A and B are shown apart, each in its own frame.
Chain A
Amino acid sequence: MNHLPLIIKREYLTKVKNKSFIVMTILSPIIMIALISVVAYLSQLNNDKVRTISILDESGLVESAFQSTEKTKYNILHNMSLSDAKAIVKETSSYGLLHIDKFSNVDDISNHIEFYSEESPSISIISNLENQLEKKLTNIKLEQQGVDVSMINASKVYVDIAQESFEGEKTSKIDSVVKLIFGGAAGYLLFMFIIIYGNMIMRSVIEEKTSRIIEVIISSVKPVQLMLGKIIGTSLAGITQFVIWIILGGVLMTIISLVFGIDMMQSPQQDMLQQAMESPEANSQIQNLINAFYNLPITNLIIAFILFFISGYLLYSSLYAAIGAAVDNETDTQQFLLPIIMPLILAVYIGIFTVIEDPHGTVSTVFSFIPLTSPVVMLMRIPFGVPIWQQLVSLLLLIGTFMFTVWFASKIYRVGILMYGKKPSYKELIKWIKY
């Protein structure tokens, strides 16, 4: 008799009808969105603030370099002593005072520039000031030595290396960023999914043990069926939760940005991107971005995502189920969880640090074959173009391991669910397999 659908249905319904599950499903996106809005709102406030910087240029050479912008106003002071200037700046509550000493030699000037302020100034402001001063002073020095600055500017050359694979696919830097985001998102999603729902499976196995219902059930169904039913049912509940999160999150985000006018996506990085867009190359940049999406191996990505996600998830969740069966309560699980979480975290770190640096290097390639890390690492590598044979070999290894772990886990599960009272050691777990 095949009871798998019945078990899946029960597991799914009890999970979905569970109060804390419902609360988590609804509350999580609300909290997330609320947090993001607050951060976005605050950084917007911060950005709107206008800073005034007073400048006392006793040399009279560089003050013309400072042009006020929207966010920074420069207040040029004239004909006063440094101490007077400081007093004024303090009174007018300017952000700070930039003092350029009275020298005529450019090198002397550059060595005697100081910034006075109430609190220590932000790095970006100082480096901004330094940039402007350097530019101006360099130009003055060049002129003093009889070099035509306009000629230098005119003869500047900009290089943008066009990238193309041997197959004729054009790529660009933006391509790499898009690939990174796709791969990273896929790998991270799998990681999160395993941690959240693996634990849920484990808890539900422990619950069956502690409520002592297990013996009644396995007198009707095979333990393997029960385990698979649990894994599949819980995963379906997980997918339901994820979909609700995405939809609810999207709707909330749209509402908030419409009602409160907060741009969630606003960030300093975007400002820079905007600035870049304003340059003559802007059009080609946008074009590049669109091209980058088209250049992704979309079909390959989707198929690989589904296959690696499912096998990787099943591999880990069967281990979680086995742990749940081996222990009596959740506090005893730590010892067994560590060896499962380690490879997962390793996979994410390799994905973040190595795949970005060199997606086809030895480390990334090797770890995209090792079954416990391969789902995450391979998913991160695929957007960069992985030969099909590598994907196939890795997937076959993964499926082989997954079948082995399900077999292994079901052995532990079968014995473990009827064992009460003591926490088993690894040695005993190995012994159980022979029972």
Chain B
Amino acid sequence: MSNLLEVNKVSKNFGDFKALNNVSIAVPKGSIFGLLGPNGAGKTTLIRVINQITMPDNGTVHLDGEALNENHIKDIGYLPEERGLYKSMKVGEQALYLAQLKGLSKAEAKTRLKYWFERLEIGDWWNKKIQELSKGMAQKIQFVVTVLHQPKLLIFDEPFSGFDPINANLIKDEILRLREDGATVIFSTHRMESVEELCDDIALIHQSNKILDGRLIDIKRQYKINTFEVGIRTNNKAVLQKELSEKFEVSKANFKSLEDELKLNIKLNGDAPNDLLNFLTSKGDVSHFVELIPSVNDIFIQTVKNN
């Protein structure tokens, strides 16, 4: 799969402050790419570099194989974290203006806006002023404006903030649909469960440096610790635990279940999972057998702490 966006060794200094240090990322075409990192890590600066708001001191950015230039403005849709609209302007006028700034003709923008307003059931907002709308309502309009010109690359910075669960779900479905239609999405958020749910690839930025990137599955494989969470029904828990701890690394596990069973985390040292399973079935009834896969949250915290 080819990459839609390639950021190559980009650095950016603000005075003495290093905001980005030799950061490279590659965003595959048609993927949802999670850009993660603690507050102040440099995510927003990187996003601004991609949007040509900030010029990098060093390094290059290529979109669709072409060095970033003015013509790419219409290929990118950006929903910033710090977002707002003109308070005293009418919704329709405002959306038309912003769409025209992205290079759409007025007529084209109007047709598409009508379509999207119908789709999100906000058609009757056209003549309202932004100050009459709630925050969530305004966010919906911003979302529409971001995707209206059908950009190849969509950049969402905390897209779900300000939405109730119903609307957040609606927006999530729209993002997935846009990806199906061929768009590539960069997704920056602190909500790890949505990363888990949506992202194919991630990059982790910490203190201006990229410290981790790749396909989410590969990263999880890399971070897994060969540990299984098991539940087993037995008459003599203490004996079984002792027997197990002679063969494997064992620690207490905590998960919810209906039975009163022995719950353990068991780490395999070179043994195959089947060896463990065979051993367990010979000792009692196995009610629970799951490989512990690290969550994005765990990976995030662990990696940031280690750096």
Contact = CB atoms under 8 A, between A and B. Distances in A.
A170 interface: no
A213 interface: yes
In which size bucket is the chain A interface? 20 to 34
Interface stretch (B93-101, B181-189, B240-248, B289-297): B93-101
B73 A212 contact: no
B142 A216 contact: yes
Contact of A221 (B101, B142, B145): B101
Nearest to B57: A435
Given A211-B85, A216-B83, A216-B142, A418 B53 contact: yes
Contact of A434 (B15, B52, B87): B15
Given A1-B103, A212-B82, A435-B14, 16 more contacts: A14-B86, A18-B88, A211-B85, A213-B86, A215-B80, A215-B82, A216-B85, A217-B101, A219-B53, A220-B73, A220-B98, A220-B102, A418-B53, A420-B82, A431-B15, A434-B15
Given A1-B70, A211-B85, A216 B98 contact: yes
Contacts of B85: 211, 213, 216
B11 interface: no
Interface string A204-232: 00011001110111111100000000000
B123 interface: no
Contacts of A10: 97
Interface string B186-203: 000000000000000000
B89 interface: yes
B284 interface: no
A102 interface: no
Interface in B49-107: 51-53, 70-71, 73-74, 76, 78-80, 82-89, 97-98, 100-103
Contacts, number: 66
A368 to B, nearest CB: 39
Contacts of A14: 86, 88-89
A221 B103 CA distance: 10
Nearest to B14: A435
B78 A216 contact: yes
A185 interface: no
A243 interface: no
22 contacts: A1-B70, A1-B73, A1-B74, A3-B100, A14-B86, A18-B88, A212-B80, A212-B82, A212-B83, A212-B84, A213-B84, A213-B85, A215-B53, A216-B145, A217-B98, A219-B51, A219-B52, A219-B78, A220-B98, A434-B15, A435-B14, A435-B15
Interface string A1-36: 101001000100010001000000000000000000
Contacts of A221: 101
Contacts of A213: 83-86
Interface string A410-435: 00000000101000000000010011
Interface residues of B, number: 30
Contacts of A418: 48, 53
A213 B85 CA distance: 5
Contacts of B84: 211-213, 216
A418 to B, nearest CB: 7
B54 to A, nearest CB: 8
A431 B17 CA distance: 12
B73 to A, nearest CB: 6
Interface of A: 1, 3, 6, 10, 14, 18, 207-208, 211-213, 215-221, 418, 420, 431, 434-435
B101 A3 contact: yes
Contacts of B87: 207, 211
Interface of B: 14-15, 48, 51-53, 70-71, 73-74, 76, 78-80, 82-89, 97-98, 100-103, 142, 145
A207 B84 CA distance: 11
The 4 A-B pairs at the shortest CB distance, nearest first, are namely: A212-B84, A220-B101, A215-B80, A211-B84
A24 B234 CA distance: 87
Contacts of A431: 15
Candidate in B76, B79, B88, B142 with the most chain A CB atoms within 10 angstroms: B88
Given A216-B80, A434-B15, A211 B86 contact: yes
Nearest to A226: B101
A114 B82 CA distance: 81
Candidate in A211, A420, A431 with the most chain B CB atoms within 10 angstroms: A211
Given A219-B73, A434-B15, A6 B97 contact: yes
Contact of A6 (B83, B86, B100): B100
Nearest to A9: B97
A14 B89 CA distance: 8
Contacts of B48: 418
Contacts of A207: 86-87
A411 to B, nearest CB: 12
Given A1-B70, A10-B97, A14-B88, A219 B82 contact: no
A6 B101 contact: yes
B173 to A, nearest CB: 23
A67 B256 CA distance: 119
A211 B130 CA distance: 10
A84 to B, nearest CB: 77
Contacts of B88: 14, 18
Contacts of B142: 216
Contacts of A1: 70-71, 73-74, 103
B213 to A, nearest CB: 24
B141 to A, nearest CB: 11
A363 B14 CA distance: 44
Contacts of B98: 216-217, 220
B92 to A, nearest CB: 13
Candidate in A213, A219, A431, A434 with the most chain B CB atoms within 10 angstroms: A219
A420 B83 CA distance: 13
Contacts of A420: 82
A145 B134 CA distance: 99
